[in-house]
Amino acid sequence: MKLLKLFLLLLTLTGWAQTVIFPGQSGQELLDNLVITYKPATVLSYNDARDLMFGTLNNVNDSVACFYTDYKVYIDPNSTLAPRTQAYNAGLDTEHSWPQSLGATGNARSDIHHLFPTRTYVNSARGNLPYGEIDDVLTDRWYYLSLVTTTIPGANIDEYSELDLDVRFEVREDHKGNIARALFYFYTMYEDQADPTFFTVQKNVLRQWSFLDPVDGEELTRTNQIAAVQDNKPNPFVLDTTLIGRAFFGVSTA
């Protein structure tokens, strides 16, 4: 009950009212209907998907911020270079929150619901590691803006993403929910090609992340913009955060 009250309070504070999708359903029945209703049959080409991400979806006043570090680069709207090329030349790459090597192939590779702009070297550092919480004393590297440090930050610690080398990667606090909802989406839509172990080792912490970092207006806008180019299919886990609990944990709340 306390968790439910906190969840409702968070919704009130963020000013976002969710839609309950397939009320009364749970487990495999719910998962099957989510796939039928929300899995896009067509997606953009990989180049077009990246151009949309760098040129529109994650572009604010002609700048794109790294999802992990908030480091920003300028994207010239009048340039003859494609947005993805400008971003790459400035040190930003495309992060597959679900790694390509673990199942993000075919349409899944270009499904923008799980793609995010990240600094190239941070992207490489994360590699195909699962996400998770890291004890500060176990963190090998901290990433914020253009900074990389091996010591615990003395300020703005929640703004840093963290790496436990060869073990896991922890996203900065205010983006954890976004990552969680992206991965629950991916595993639901592409379970037949997704590495099940990769999902299993993360799903409990991802559920916590989604609860503690609720959907905001920016995330809701982004999923609807993506839907416009992906068969009008938004990420249902953004629209209804109770789906995580109902689909994967047998409970009626988030």
Residue 18's pLDDT band (cuts 50, 70, 90):
confident
Residue that the structure tokens 């416009």 belong to: 228
Gap between the Cα atoms of 216 and 230, Å rounded: 21
CA distance readout (Å), 58 to 16, 42, 197: 20, 21, 30
Question: Is 73:64 a contact under the CB 8 Å cutoff?
Answer: yes
List, for residues 59-77, the tens digit of each pLDDT value: 999 999 999 999 999 999 9
Residue 252's pLDDT band (cuts 50, 70, 90):
confident
- pLDDT of residue 4 exceeding 70: no
List, for residues 170-223, the tens digit of each pLDDT value: 999 999 999 999 999 999 999 999 999 999 999 999 999 999 999 999 999 999
Residue-wise DSSP of 150-203:
SS--SS-GGG-EEEETTTEEE--GGGHHHHHHHHHHHHHHTTTTS-HHHHHTTH
Torsion of CA 83, 86, 90, 91, to 10 degrees: 60
Question: Is 132:138 a contact under the CB 8 Å cutoff?
Answer: no
pLDDT of residue 11: 44
Instruction: Give me 237's structure tokens.
Output: 């886990």
* 242-248 average pLDDT score: 98
Residue 54's pLDDT band (cuts 50, 70, 90):
very high
Question: Is 25:53 a contact under the CB 8 Å cutoff?
Answer: no
pLDDT of residue 19: 86
List, for residues 130-156, the tens digit of each pLDDT value: 999 999 999 999 999 999 999 999 999
